[in-house]
């Protein structure tokens, strides 16, 4: 029996117009947007459909917006009767994955990402940060370069996205120094358009308050297996999942490890559930050419139709 994993995107996948087709097509999608707007006290539909992009991209707005579209896409797939075995989400997307696994309710998902966005925005204003993608070096090499520069300032690995795509995060000068060293070793280094040093100790001032909210949320044992960012592994224990989410904000996203875990489980169908193609693109880089898997995106009617036709 073929196994399916739902992958949920996070920051960087947003676009003006995201979710609009499903909103127009399905009453239950409009209800999800209504719930989000009531919970976070924000015009989520307007932000998603009309932007402007500068406003949508602000992390305080973006986190509820992307999450709402993720959960809308999930609801459409569920309505179509698509079965899935595993869930994983990249950074912000992990909250959507927890909802898909029935660990947390939709309303609590919106509460958490709204608070997370507010706190991250606050910390990014307090502490100027930068993030660079390093392409072409394995994690061991990047770890060594980071360790070399760390005595001079705050810098660390934020995301291990694929074998040779690693994002570093921290104060602008140390991040630049690691990138310069990586360039000398033949890597390509790309500054990312972000407003803060996500997954670094520069935003650790948000941890205590976010963890206080997490501690009050009801976490259930997962109904579907969920692969966690902090460990790159699954857990069946609600308290362990909560503990991982309390570390997630400032810990590296072990996406490469998470995808490895999904391959170990012989997943044959990967579906990016939400806007953009970031995770589908990473899957194509990570999956070996001889690994028997298909990758899909589902965020609009055309993509849904294509997916349903190919899986019929």
Q: What is the pLDDT of residues 78-101, one digit of tens each?
A: 999 999 999 999 999 999 999 999
- Res 311: pLDDT: 79
Task: Tell me the per-residue pLDDT of 179-227, one tens digit each, with 9 for 90 and over.
Answer: 999 999 999 999 999 989 999 999 999 999 999 999 999 999 999 999 9
pTM equals 0.97
Contact at 8 Å (CB) between 202 and 129?
A: yes
Please tell me which residue in 13, 90, 91, 156 is annotated as part of the active site. 91
The reported pLDDT for the residue numbered 290 is 95
Closest CA to 257 of 144, 166, 170: 166
| 197-to-63, 95, 135, 175, 251 alpha-carbon distances in Å | 16, 20, 18, 10, 12
Question: Residues for the chain: how many in total?
Answer: 312
Position 264 confidence tier, pLDDT thresholds 50, 70, 90: very high
2 flagged as catalytic: no
Span 8-44, pLDDT tens digits: 999 999 999 999 999 999 999 999 999 999 999 999 9
Phi, psi of 186 (to 5 degrees): 95, 5
Count of beta carbons in the 10 Å neighbourhood of residue 236: 10
Catalytic residue at 225? no
Residue 1: predicted pLDDT: 67
Hey, what domains does the chain have and what are their CATH numbers?
Answer: 3-125+201-311 (3.40.366.10), 128-191 (3.30.70.250)
**What percent of the chain is modeled with pLDDT above 90?**
97
Of residues 90, 121, 160, 199, which has the active-site annotation? Answer: 199
Q: How far apart are CA 40 and CA 214, in angstroms?
A: 16
Match 């973006």 to its residue by tokens. 62
């Amino acid at each position: 029996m073929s196994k399916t994993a739902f992958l949920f995107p996070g920051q960087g996948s947003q676009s003006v117009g995201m979710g609009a087709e499903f909103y127009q097509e399905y009453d239950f999608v409009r209800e999800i947007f209504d719930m989000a707007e009531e919970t976070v006290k924000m015009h989520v539909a307007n932000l998603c459909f009309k932007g402007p992009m500068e406003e949508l991209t602000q992390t305080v707005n973006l986190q509820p917006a992307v999450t709402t579209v993720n959960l809308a896409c999930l609801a459409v797939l569920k309505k179509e009767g698509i079965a899935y075995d595993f869930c994983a989400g990249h950074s912000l997307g992990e909250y959507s994955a927890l909802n898909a696994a029935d660990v947390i309710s939709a309303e609590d998902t919106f509460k958490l990402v709204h608070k997370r966005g507010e706190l991250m925005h606050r910390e990014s204003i307090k502490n100027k940060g930068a993030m660079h993608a390093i392409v072409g070096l394995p994690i061991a090499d990047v770890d060594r370069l980071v360790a070399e520069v760390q005595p001079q300032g705050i810098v660390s690995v934020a995301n291990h996205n694929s074998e040779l795509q690693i994002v570093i995060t921290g104060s602008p000068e140390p991040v630049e120094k690691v990138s310069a060293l990586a360039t000398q070793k033949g890597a390509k280094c790309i500054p990312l358009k972000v407003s803060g040093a996500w997954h670094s100790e520069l935003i650790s001032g948000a941890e205590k308050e976010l963890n206080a909210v997490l501690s009050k949320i009801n976490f259930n044992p997962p109904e579907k297996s969920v692969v966690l960012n902090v460990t790159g592994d699954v857990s069946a224990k609600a308290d362990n999942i909560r503990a991982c989410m309390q570390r997630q904000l400032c810990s590296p996203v072990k996406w490469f490890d998470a995808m490895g875990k999904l391959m170990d489980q012989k997943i044959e169908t990967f579906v990016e559930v939400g806007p953009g193609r970031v995770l589908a693109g990473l899957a194509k880089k990570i999956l070996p050419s001889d690994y028997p898997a298909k990758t899909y995106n589902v965020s609009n009617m055309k993509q849904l139709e294509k997916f349903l036709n190919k899986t019929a």
